[in-house]
Structure 1
């Protein structure tokens, strides 16, 4: 296994852990709060997560998985790119932006739908990690 593959697998594993933590702890914890408090907390999380370290890992993982695709480990790379990176950019981020613009009435729909798609991101990242380690 090459160095880039090892780093890509580690990075997809880091992202899997982040998505997993949101699925099993953060979102259920927010679900226990009144909509006003939960929405306010999630809005803060959405601001705070946009930090240099997160962006390095999130965007860097996409770059590494792109390299993996071009080096022939197509399945592992594409699963992360489609199931985690693109899903984040085209589903979760727009939902976060809508949460910022709307009132508390949107919270129940946001919580349910965002969490479902986050589960998909977690599974895709885990699958990508395993498949990259297997060399595919």
Structure 2
């Protein structure tokens, strides 16, 4: 049975992963669709502003907090190796660390960095925007699924 600080750490991990999943599903289901419906110059400019706002403390505390909690929880789980829930906890941590944080670093951030360099009013900006929306959203779907599955795994690890 998981209890004490280990229980609290697991609950914090599940809540943080769930919050991140919620943000990402919002982007996948309506934010990116709304931005894609705008003229390219407006979509690019709006997403550039969103990407600047996203790296402020409010979101980064949750996103990086979930990353830190997942890493610590994985280490603690290896050390404690509980009688029940070990597989679920380790799987949840791996899903978040690789499927959410890893995909963000390897796929979404490079696209955000490239978008930041384009002039929203340029033809190049309009061309890149079409590619960006498709690729970024696909990778965001993966992050959403990974963060959601991580949440489920951590909750199952508690039961």
- In the other structure, the counterpart of 1:60 is 65
TM-score, scaled relative to structure 1:
0.96
Mean CA deviation greater in 27-36 or 101-110 = 101-110
Matched, 1:123 2:145: yes
TM-score, scaled relative to structure 2:
0.83
Q: 1:83 aligns with which of 86, 99, 106?
A: 99
- In the other structure, the counterpart of 1:11 is 16
Inter-partner Cα distance in structure 1 for 2:45 and 2:74? 39
Mean CA deviation greater in 119-128 or 46-55 = 46-55
Large movers: runs of 4+ above 3 Å: none
How many residue pairs match? The answer is 136
Can you give the 5+ residue segments of structure 1 that lack an aligned partner in the other structure?
Answer: none
Can you give the 5+ residue segments of structure 2 that lack an aligned partner in the other structure?
Answer: 78-88, 119-124
Inter-partner Cα distance in structure 2 for 1:44 and 1:70? 37
Inter-partner Cα distance in structure 2 for 1:105 and 1:38? 12
Deviations 1:100-133 (A, max 9, x none): 1132220000000000000000000000000011
Inter-partner Cα distance in structure 2 for 1:63 and 1:54? 14
- In the other structure, the counterpart of 2:47 is 42
Structure whose alpha-carbon radius of gyration is higher: 2
- In the other structure, the counterpart of 2:56 is 51
Displacement, 1:74? 1.1
